[in-house]
Amino acid sequence: MKTLCRFAALTSVAAMAPAQTVPPPKVAAEAATARSPADVYGALFRAVQQQHVFADGKTFVDAVPKRSADTIMAAYARTKPYGPALKAFVLANFVVPGENDRGSGDLRTHVRALWPQLVREPVIPVAGSSALPLPARYVVPGGRFREIYYWDSYFTMLGLKVDGQQPLVESMLDDFTSLIERYGHIPNGTRTYYLSRSQPPYYALMLDLSTNTDPAIAKRRLAALRTEHAFWMKGETCAAGRRACLRVVRMPDGSVLNRYYDDRDTPRDESYAEDVATAAKAAPRPAAATQRDLRAGAESGWDFSSRWLRDPQSLTTIHTTDIVPVDLNSLMFAMERAIAARCRTAGDGACATAFTARATQRRTAIDRYLWQAATARYADWDLSTGKPTASVNAAMLHPLFVGLASPPQAKSVAATVRRSLVAEGGLRTTTLKTGQQWDEPNGWAPLQWIAIAGLDANGEPALAKDIARRWIGTVGAAYAETGKMLEKYNIEQRTPGGGGEYPVQDGFGWTNGVASAILDRYPDFAVRDQNPGK
């Protein structure tokens, strides 16, 4: 009770405020005072990250200090530990996160048992930690991901809903609404070092999972949704006469679409040493440009993928901010359509008309630039070349998922999916093997669900069910072998996935959520062989 009362002071003003489309002054002030671990721990932070004290660069930046930052830094300045002594110093002064245990039982039972293990209580951060405050209970992905993440949570919430955990769906929506009210957007995750970027915007779709009918809550959520839209469109004015500004791009005909971006151009706190090394290898390109594109790749959720690389085999060629992504713009279309519908329900005709027009204009621009009839696919657009990219990837299914594709477009995409993206164990992410984790041979739960739901809604139920069956077979096989639900899978061999900046993680929120959603949609899928004890 004390936790909730203390937090209420943070949110009560925002909850009573009238609807608005831009963040109030408090947003800028709160964001400006939030300090990341790099800011707080300076020389200690750099030493830990550059000496690779922990195999995962995110471990230290999520640690919780046992003493005040000033006391810790004074002790570090006196002793200047190095190597094993540095790790001992960190362990003595911080609580360092651990790992999950092995599970048991059939797949669906295991997922239901995992939800309580992944639930976290409202957060009031310890001084000097990187955590952001949250007012309500929430579910974390698991493994190294010890905080709430934006786009992960939508797919987690799908499973919570069908597994009878509606109160958690509502409390997570309270958290996301609060984040928008306080920071003007939903950050990548609830850490200070994530505040400069967001993730694929699923808040509008999350709201469709709610059963809350309170008009006051609906008003507050609509205001938050409009604020989030304003965040993504903040560069609209400064993009006039320019190719791009912030997250907004001007296409050759003057139409407006969006890109991924990050407000900072420094190494990411959680991958500091890796980003420093990548930027150094990219020289003579300015380090800030490389680091901005690495950060933008992180905002995309596809960190990293050949989608963002000039040379698919070299991360140093990343140029995310040149790419106009089909997934982001499909989600922006869904957001604009949702705002129009909610404004209409609220009796705000002017708002409904304005956002209906925005959604229509975006659909026209997507059809003109991102739809490629000759190759039967939706493609990302490269601003630097003025052409669609050659990447064939699972993002092409987003227009089907949000109801943007016409029947002929959906049929063409389905044919391309059958030909290029269906693998033994599910839907491929891309068709290129690069060593990056968002490339072949890895498959990811959210992309499976987007394909399944999008194809099923567009006259391709057999293909949707086939992908679902293949994916559940992969998840079940890995679970039988490891006793764990994993972040990603090798869908060619039906084994744990690989690649990327960190080891494969278990837990795992969006895998759990999608597995439950699939088994709920297709109850005829057998689960008798998905038991590690047999």
Is 363 part of any domain?
no
The mean pLDDT of the chain is 91
Phi and psi torsions of 239, nearest 5°: -80, -10
Q: Is 65 within a domain?
A: yes
Of 322, 440, 487, 506, which one is the catalytic site residue?
487
Give the model's pLDDT for residue 302.
98
The number of beta carbons lying within 10 Å of the beta carbon of residue 524 is 7
Residue 70 lies in a domain: yes
Catalytic-labelled residue, pool 303, 327, 336, 506: 303
- Asked if residue 277 belongs to a domain, the reply is no
Query: For 394-434, how does the pLDDT look when each residue is reduced to its tens digit (9 = 90+)?
Result: 999 999 999 999 999 999 999 999 999 999 999 999 999 99
- Is residue 460 part of the annotated active site? The answer reads no
186: pLDDT strictly greater than 70: yes
Query: Nearest 5°: phi and psi at 314?
Result: -135, 115
Q: Give dist(CA 203, CA 179) in Å, integer.
A: 11
How many Å apart are CA 317 and CA 324, to the nearest integer?
17
Concerning whether 303 is annotated as a catalytic residue, the answer is yes
Helix (H) or strand (E) holding 256: strand 256-258
Alpha carbon dihedral 130, 277, 323, 418, in 10-degree steps, equals: -90
Number of domains comprising the chain:
1
| pTM of the predicted structure, to 2 decimals | 0.83
C-alpha distances out from residue 290 to 139, 168, 193, 243, 281, Å: 33, 39, 18, 19, 10
Structure tokens, 32: 């400006």
Look-up of token digits 């996160």: 97
pLDDT at 407: 98
Report whether 516 contacts 161 (CB < 8 A). Answer: no
Q: What is the model's pLDDT at position 446?
A: 98
Kindly provide the residue ranges of all beta strands, DSSP E only, lying in 10-136, ordered along the sequence. 64-65, 94-95, 119-120
Q: Is the pLDDT score of 136 beyond 80? A: yes
361, burial (CB in 10 Å: exposed 0-12, middle 13-18, buried 19+): middle
- Does 89 fall in a domain? yes
Q: Is the pLDDT of residue 246 over 90?
A: yes
User: Region 271-276: what's the mean pLDDT?
Assistant: 98
More reliable by pLDDT, 461 or 481 = 461
> 318, 293 in Cβ contact below 8 A?
yes
Could you give the C-alpha distances from 122 to 148, 174, 283, 413, in angstroms and in order? 11, 11, 44, 43
DSSP string covering 105-141, please? S-HHHHHHHHHHHHEE--B-PPTT--BPPBSS-EE--
Of 98-112, 158-172, 334-348, 469-483, least confident by mean pLDDT is: 98-112
pLDDT for the residue numbered 143: 83
- Residue 57, domain member (yes or no): yes
Q: Cα–Cα distance between 451 and 413 in angstroms, integer?
A: 10
Tell me the pLDDT tens digit for each residue of 73-109: 999 998 888 887 898 889 888 988 753 344 556 788 8
Is residue 173 in a domain?
no
- Residue 514 has which token pair? 């999608």
pLDDT per position as a tens digit, 457-478: 999 999 999 999 999 999 999 8
372: part of which helix (H) or strand (E)? strand 371-372
Residue 347 inside a domain? The answer is no
Buried b (16+ CB within 10 A) or exposed e, 435-450: ebbbbbbbbbbbbbbb
Q: pLDDT at residue 10 above 80?
A: no
Q: pLDDT tens across 493-534, in order? A: 999 998 887 777 778 999 999 999 999 999 998 654 444 433
The per-residue pLDDT for range 16-62, each reduced to its tens digit, is 333 344 445 556 566 767 899 999 999 999 999 999 999 899 999 99
Q: Domain of residue 53: give its range.
A: 38-97
Question: Measuring CA to CA, which residue among 377, 369, 193 is closest to residue 267?
Answer: 193
